[in-house]
């Protein structure tokens, strides 16, 4: 039986007075600007969430952890917590030297005495900690592409907590939670780790887990760094707050954990357990494929579905926190209730309903019904706000073509048609207008054209992110730059590339601005199509011909394409 210990845990912070003094002194130290992941790690080091660690790991601790999940003194610890830096930063340091650790705005959060400096074998770390040196694993990818090549280790002296402006009242240090549990008289607390929105099945299973363990419940979602592509934590926390109201009064609380997850499956489960133990919990729910990273590059799972539970079970006694199995809950239509799938005896005679994560995303994307039995209306409404159907999302229409091809004319006609329809704000970023307002200092060298297009792409991606329609109409002659803009925009919404395919001969024949003549005479240099290249789009969403076709018809073709893509309601 796990014994709860709610005595205060040791933190790495110095007193307020010492911190003020240290902060001034640390101003003269060489400083390292922490990455977002390092800030998460530092916060949990300083507040005791990573107890017994007293700083970023030494080489001996790191080796022990990588090889057999143990610190040099033999304590169980499954995850390397290292300060990765660049070679150039590491070169200038001497062992024994103090450095200042700053957040991204330059605020000094801590100092660290550098006792160790080494170049890790990243392939070994990947194999041993994450199970394979395969970059399909997000933490392995991070290790090879984001983490510095040198690790520094040494004790940390905490000056101040990282600043959070969001949900401040929902963030607790281990000692704050311990004090809360003491005050409430919660002797047994089961923690639920999550990085996803909660629906009815989660509410049922967590409440059951708490009942089974005769414990109170702590919903303990991760808001630091989770798996790329997850629902952002702002949306999730609003969802959690709605679900919290569904538990019987005073049985359950919620606190946000600023952890940077590694998605390391079994090792991660043990790590999560130790962190919850530090936060005063006695029980921890471990599910199927806990903290799973998805498929490897061969399309197979990195870990077995119950590896995390097995590893946790092996170590739970030593950890001092007990595992509660996650029950797979499904909705039984005939009885209109959630039941654990392995406890349903009349499985062949009842209708079992379930909606997968993929199906949920499809329904949100297409604006389809999400039934009441699956989730709470407040949660669905938050998710619908965050993931509106395509016909309410922002998008970018990106025209490209020679000067005088008709881009601006078609773009203007499209702008008017979309404004007539209403619903979303529309902005036209025409080549000439942009050059006057955003890029007035730029000329037409490759470098300048790229800068110009990237600026347009940035503005378009912001408009798209905020639910508007951006219409861009530059020449954008280079395929690689168009691709980069597509990537910028597609993070937030659709990118519709329209090639205005008027031939060079026709543009030159029209020569509306008289520029082709000047270009032929050599009076304008680097003129697209004459003395500068144009990469014809290979695979645009739409190609419009303008010769012998009315502008209105060209704009209408774009509208039809947008309808077909579900971006505007038909």
Q: How wide is the angle at C-alpha 387 spanned by C-alphas 385 and 391, nearest 5°?
A: 95
Residue 323: which residues within 8 A CB-CB, separation 6 or more? 273, 283, 284, 285, 286, 309, 312, 313, 316
> Is 278 tagged catalytic?
no
Q: Any contact of residue 474 with ligand PPS (CB under 6 A)?
A: yes
Residue 55, beta-bridge partner list: 155
If binding is defined by CB under 6 A, does position 324 make contact with ligand PPS? no
Q: Exactly one of 37, 102, 195, 262 is catalytic; which is it?
A: 195
Nearest residue (beta carbon) to ligand PPS: 431
- For the bound state, the minimum distance from the C-beta of residue 394 to ligand PPS, rounded and expressed in Å, comes to 22
One character per residue 354-393, x = contact with ligand PPS (rule: CB under 6 A): ----------------------------------------
For residue 503, say whether it is annotated as part of any ligand binding site.
no
Of 196, 296, 412, 427, which one is the catalytic site residue?
A: 196
For ligand PPS, the binding residue among 175, 278, 309, 403 (CB under 6 A) is 403
Q: b/e per residue, 221-240, with b = 16+ CB within 10 A?
A: bbbbbbbeeebebebbbbbb
In the bound complex, what is the minimum distance in angstroms from residue 95's beta carbon to ligand PPS?
A: 52
Phi, psi at 397, each rounded to 5°: -105, 120
Q: Binding site annotation covers 10?
A: no
- The reply, when asked if residue 48 is annotated as ligand binding, is no
Span 444-463, contacts to ligand PPS by CB under 6 A: 444, 449, 452-453
Q: Is 454 among the catalytic positions?
A: no
Widest CA span in the chain: 90
408 binds ligand PPS (CB under 6 A): yes
Q: Does 477 bind ligand PPS (CB under 6 A)?
A: yes
Residues with Cβ < 8 Å from 509, sequence gap 6 or more? none
Find out whether 376 is annotated in a ligand binding site: no
The number of residues making up the chain comes to: 570
Nearer to ligand PPS, 166 or 432 (CB): 432
Say how far residue 18 (Cα) sits from the centre of its chain.
Answer: 36
* Residue 544 CB neighbour total at 10 angstroms: 24
> How many of the chain's residues bind ligand PPS (CB under 6 A)?
20
Which listed range, 183-191, 269-277, 469-477, 535-543, lies at the site for ligand PPS (CB under 6 A)? 469-477
Closest approach of ligand PPS to the CB of residue 246, in Å: 54
Fill in the DSSP letter of residue 348: G
Residue 546 in contact with ligand PPS, rule: CB under 6 A = no
Task: Give the integer Cα–Cα distance in Å for 195 and 176.
Answer: 22
CB of 509 to ligand PPS, least distance (A): 14
Nearest distance, CB of residue 517 and ligand PPS, angstroms: 13
Angle at 522 between CA 520 and CA 523, to 5 degrees: 110
Burial class of residue 187 (count of CB atoms within 10 Å of its CB; 0-12, 13-18, 19+): middle
Q: Of 35, 82, 173, 194, which is the active-site residue? A: 194
Indicate if 195 belongs to the active site. Answer: yes
Closest to ligand PPS by CB, 309 vs 528, is 528
406 a known binding residue? yes
Place of tokens 């209408």: 556
Residue 427 CB neighbours (<10 A)? 15
**Of 475, 498, 501, 567, the one binding ligand PPS by CB under 6 A:** 475
At closest approach, how far in Å is the CB of 388 from ligand PPS? Answer: 31
DSSP output for 53-86: --EEPPHHHHHHHHHHSB-TTS-B--S---EEE-
Complex with ligand PPS: residue 364 or 451, whichever CB lies closer: 451
Q: Is 431 annotated as a binding residue?
A: no
Which residues from 426-445 bind ligand PPS, rule CB under 6 A?
431-432, 435, 444
- Contacts of residues 94-98 at CB distance under 8 Å and 24 or more positions apart, as own/partner, are 97/30, 98/26, 98/29
The footprint of ligand PPS on residues 496-525 (CB under 6 A) is 513, 515, 524
Which residue positions form the known binding site for ATP? Answer: 401-408
- Where in the sequence numbering do the catalytic residues fall? 194-196
Binding region for ligand PPS (CB under 6 A): 403-404, 408, 431-432, 435, 444, 449, 452-453, 474-477, 513, 515, 524, 526-528
């Amino acid at each position: 039986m796990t014994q709860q210990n709610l005595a205060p845990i040791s933190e790495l912070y110095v007193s307020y007075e010492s911190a003020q003094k240290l902060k001034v002194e640390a101003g003269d130290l060489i400083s390292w600007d922490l990455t977002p992941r390092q800030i998460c790690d530092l916060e949990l080091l300083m507040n005791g969430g990573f107890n017994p660690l007293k700083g970023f790991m030494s080489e001996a601790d790191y080796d022990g952890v990588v090889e057999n999940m143990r610190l040099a003194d033999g304590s169980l610890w499954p995850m390397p917590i290292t300060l990765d830096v660049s070679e150039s930063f590491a070169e200038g340091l001497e062992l024994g030297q103090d450095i200042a650790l700053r957040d991204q705005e330059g605020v000094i959060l801590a100092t660290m005495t550098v006792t160790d400096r080494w170049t890790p074998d990243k392939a070994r770390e990947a194999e041993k900690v994450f199970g394979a040196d395969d970059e399909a694993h997000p933490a392995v990818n991070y290790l090879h592409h984001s983490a510095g090549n040198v690790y520094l280790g040494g004790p940390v002296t905490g000056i101040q907590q990282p600043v959070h402006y969001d949900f401040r009242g929902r963030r607790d240090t281990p000692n704050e939670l311990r004090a809360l549990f003491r005050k409430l008289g919660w002797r047994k607390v089961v923690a639920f780790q999550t990085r996803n929105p909660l629906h009815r099945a989660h509410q049922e299973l967590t409440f059951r887990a708490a009942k089974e363990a005769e414990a109170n419940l702590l919903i303990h979602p991760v808001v630091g760094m989770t798996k790329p592509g997850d629902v952002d934590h702002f949306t999730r926390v609003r969802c959690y707050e709605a679900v919290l109201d569904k538990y019987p009064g005073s049985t359950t609380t919620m606190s946000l954990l600023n952890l940077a997850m590694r998605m390391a499956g079994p090792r991660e489960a043990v790590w999560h357990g130790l962190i919850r133990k530090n936060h005063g919990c006695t029980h921890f729910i471990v599910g199927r494929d806990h903290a799973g990273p998805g498929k490897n590059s061969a399309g197979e799972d990195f870990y077995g579905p119950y590896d995390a539970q097995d590893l946790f079970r092996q170590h739970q006694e030593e950890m001092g926190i007990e595992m509660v199995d996650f029950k797979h809950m499904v909705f039984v239509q005939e009885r209109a209730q959630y039941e654990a799938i392995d406890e349903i005896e009349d499985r062949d005679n009842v209708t079992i309903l379930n909606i997968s994560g993929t199906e949920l995303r499809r329904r949100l994307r297409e604006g389809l019904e999400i039934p009441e039995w699956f989730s709470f209306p407040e949660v669905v409404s938050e998710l619908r706000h965050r993931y509106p159907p395509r016909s309410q999302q922002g998008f970018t229409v990106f025209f490209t073509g020679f000067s005088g091809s008709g881009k601006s004319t078609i773009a203007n006609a499209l702008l008017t048609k979309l404004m007539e329809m209403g619903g979303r704000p529309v902005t036209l970023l025409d080549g000439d207008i942009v050059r006057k307002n955003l890029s007035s200092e730029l000329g037409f060298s490759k470098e300048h054209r790229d800068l110009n297009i990237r600026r347009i792409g940035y503005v378009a991606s912001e408009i798209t992110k905020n639910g508007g329609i951006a219409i861009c109409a530059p020449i954008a002659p280079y395929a690689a730059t168009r691709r980069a803009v597509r990537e910028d925009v597609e993070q937030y919404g659709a990118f519709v590339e329209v090639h205005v395919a008027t031939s060079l001969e026709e543009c030159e024949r029209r020569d509306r601005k008289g520029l082709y003549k000047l270009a032929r005479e050599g009076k304008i240099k680097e003129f697209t199509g004459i003395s500068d290249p144009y990469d014809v789009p290979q695979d645009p969403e739409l190609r419009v011909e303008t010769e012998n076709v009315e502008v209105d018809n060209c704009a209408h073709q774009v509208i039809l394409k947008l309808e077909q893509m579900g971006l505007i309601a038909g």
